[in-house]
């Protein structure tokens, strides 16, 4: 018996997500629709409190684009340590440092843009990163540092399809 194929298009889980799995809208689309702040849920690993944090889309994208541009030649198709072991936000409830992990839901509802802007994609499991690569038609075998690298570049290209890092 053949396995039932899942639909390519889904209901977009966030205003900045496109209705296609593992896809976000371009910067142009987001700007024209006045979406400039991207938010997501994080949870403290110590006190279990959770709350929403937000990122300025333009500012964070510019930071990441600059980082990619400056370091792409030295990455050798592998994610750097700062992406593999991301610095996490501090908890404003218990004051614990570097402890607010993003809440990652079912694969089809992952907040890819929030994780990208917060440079927290490294918090994803390898299977979640492979899901992203599968639905964006990227090669998805290999170590976590390779699929994480592909995920960062994949989201970058979705946001700015005409820019080359």
Query: pLDDT for 147-161, tens place per residue?
Result: 999 999 999 999 999
Residue 16 belongs to a domain = no
Residue 26 belongs to a domain = no
* Average model confidence (pLDDT) across the chain: 93
Please report which confidence band the pLDDT of residue 8 belongs to, taking 50, 70 and 90 as the band edges.
Answer: confident
| CA–CA distance, 129 with 154 (Å, rounded to integer) | 11
Enclosing domain of residue 135: 37-159
- Its pTM stands at 0.92
> What single string gives the DSSP state of each residue in 105-126?
--GGG--HHHHHHTT-GGGS-H
Residue 148 belongs to a domain = yes
Please report which confidence band the pLDDT of residue 79 belongs to, taking 50, 70 and 90 as the band edges.
Answer: very high
Residue 120 belongs to a domain = yes
Residue 118 belongs to a domain = yes
Residue 5 belongs to a domain = no
Residue 135 belongs to a domain = yes
Residue 2 belongs to a domain = no
Domain count, the chain: 1
| CA–CA distance, 104 with 163 (Å, rounded to integer) | 29
């Amino acid at each position: 018996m053949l396995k039932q194929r899942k639909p390519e298009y889904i209901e977009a889980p966030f205003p900045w997500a496109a209705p296609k799995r593992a896809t976000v809208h371009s910067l142009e689309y987001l700007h024209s629709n006045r979406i400039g702040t991207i938010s997501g849920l994080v949870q403290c690993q110590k006190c279990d409190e959770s709350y929403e944090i937000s990122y300025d889309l333009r500012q964070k994208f510019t930071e990441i684009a600059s980082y990619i541009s400056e370091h792409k030649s030295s990455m050798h198709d592998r994610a750097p340590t700062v992406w593999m072991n991301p610095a996490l936000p501090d908890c404003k409830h218990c004051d614990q440092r570097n402890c607010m992990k993003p809440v990652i839901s079912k694969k089809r509802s992952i907040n890819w843009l929030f994780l990208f802007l917060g440079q927290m994609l490294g918090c994803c499991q390898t299977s979640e990163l492979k899901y992203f690569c599968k639905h964006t038609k990227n090669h998805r075998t290999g170590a976590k540092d390779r699929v994480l690298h592909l995920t960062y570049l994949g989201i970058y290209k979705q946001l700015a399809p005409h820019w080359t890092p």
